[in-house]
Amino acid sequence: MKEKGILTVVSGFSGSGKGTIMKGLLEKYQDYALSISCTTRNPRCGEEHGKEYFFVSQEEFEKMIDKEDLIEYANYVGNYYGTPKSYVEEQLESGKDVILEIEMVGAIKVKEKFPDTLLLFITPPSVSELKKRLIGRGTETKEVIEDRIKRAAEEAAIMDKYDYLIVNDDLEDAIEEVHSIIKNERRRCFRNQDFIEKIKEELKGDF
Amino acid sequence: MKEKGILTVVSGFSGSGKGTIMKGLLEKYQDYALSISCTTRNPRCGEEHGKEYFFVSQEEFEKMIDKEDLIEYANYVGNYYGTPKSYVEEQLESGKDVILEIEMVGAIKVKEKFPDTLLLFITPPSVSELKKRLIGRGTETKEVIEDRIKRAAEEAAIMDKYDYLIVNDDLEDAIEEVHSIIKNERRRCFRNQDFIEKIKEELKGDF
């Protein structure tokens, strides 16, 4: 029997480099499946259905909510975003480790629903480094950067709810850390109940 | 400031190979300090004070109990065995990861006293393999082997209380798994409260 995969939620401040880490992880290792979210927002130039997002109508999305087809969902600025349950469950059953890259409120919801979820938080080594990275992009206005810092402050308040903190100081190290944490997670006792029960039974058999 | 070390308790069935894994781990990596227990039993041939055990008198041992100088202790067949607190604390403060190789009842006591303790359980891949290893030693009588199996059955009942289960199928793999689990433990959010508080403070400062 194939071992079931681990469900991992990865979050992090805007500017933490979590997207780059995920990209590197998926390129380097074949063990992972990245969950693709559904959204009702319009595709941006270059975005493909089934790649960046599944683009669906509001009616379709609300039907998914009613049928409990979503692990979590939220509404931002008038658009729905959500994680389809079926894809995640299929991948986990097939033994793949599934990664959801979602924001913190969604992450906490997933953990409440599936307590076995592993929560990883990616952070730059310091706030000054975070600011440097946000400014360094050169693509954002001062207002957008200030908004992101403000949002980071809100997010920092619930960082404690995560299982692990990955300090993204060096990209390769961060990729290896994420990989190693997820691999080790398979050795957690609560994920090996079948094995433990088997050992107990066999040892009992002797007397 | 040097990061504080991780306190890890390693237990496992007799015949699980935990002693060999610990020996290999300490030979391969310099990051660990193995805690040495105190005992009131007499040294066996070849055993040295301060190497296998600290050999102390009953009076000395009971003084340590009274002064709360022991993390845990127990009495087996008329002899005391215990883990001296000062050595463990000094090593942890200096940043070393300290390993206690103690039996399960002691392990649970340590976890109750120090909830941050990491509990690792080493098991052979199956009960038949466990028996093969016990018999294969060729040094034990049938009664001793049966006693060990009986004890393993008792121990199996509290395996669930451990954090991780290491299946000792291949020695090198098992050494690497133990090392990697302890290293990753440093990334746990609850062990990075100072860093999290610092980030929170710095982000707050902006508004």
Summarised one tens digit per residue, pLDDT across range B37-82 is 999 999 988 899 988 899 999 999 999 999 999 999 998 888 999 9
Residue A193 has pLDDT above 70, yes or no: yes
> Which pLDDT tens digit goes with each residue over B127-180?
888 888 888 777 778 888 888 888 899 889 999 999 999 999 999 999 999 999
Q: Say if residues B17 and B171 touch (Cβ distance below 8 Å).
A: yes
Give the nearest chain A residue to B189 (CA atoms).
Answer: A164
H or E element at residue B33: strand B32-34
Q: Apex CA B197: angle with CA A117 and CA A136, to 5°?
A: 85
Q: Apex CA B34: angle with CA B159 and CA B103, to 5°?
A: 30
Among B114, B117, B119, B53, smallest CA distance to B81 is for: B53
B206 CB neighbours in chain A (<8 A) are: 146, 149-150, 153
Q: Say if residues A38 and A64 touch (Cβ distance below 8 Å).
A: yes
B124 CB neighbours in chain A (<8 A) are: none
Q: At what angle do helices B18-28 and B171-185 cross, to 10 degrees?
A: 70
Out of A166, A187, A189, closest to residue B187 by CB: A166
pLDDT band at A1 (very low <50, low <70, confident <90, very high): low
Tokens of B70: 């022991």
Among A35, A64, A67, smallest CA distance to A52 is for: A35
ipTM value for the complex:
0.87
Out of A152, A162, A196, closest to residue B189 by CB: A162
Q: Say if residues A94 and A2 touch (Cβ distance below 8 Å).
A: yes
Amino acid occupying residue A38: C
Cα separation, B12 vs A203, whole angstroms: 14
Quick check: A189 and B153 CB within 8 A?
A: no
Q: Per-residue b/e over A9-44, b at no fewer than 16 CB within 10 Å?
A: bbbbbbbbbbeebbebbeeeeeebbebbbbbbeeee
Q: Which tops the pLDDT comparison, B60 or A103?
A: B60
Q: Say if residues A145 and A135 touch (Cβ distance below 8 Å).
A: yes
pTM (predicted TM-score): 0.89
H or E element at residue A9: strand A7-12
How confident is the model at residue B1, as a pLDDT?
52
Give the nearest chain A residue to B201 (CA atoms).
Answer: A153
The mean pLDDT of B97-126, rounded to a whole number, is: 93
**DSSP structure string for B144-200:** HHHHHHHHHHHHHTTGGGSSEEEE-SSHHHHHHHHHHHHHHHTTBGGG-HHHHHHHH
Q: How far is B16 from chain A (nearest CA, A)?
A: 13
> Which pLDDT tens digit goes with each residue over A45-98?
889 998 889 999 999 999 999 999 999 999 888 899 999 999 999 999 999 999
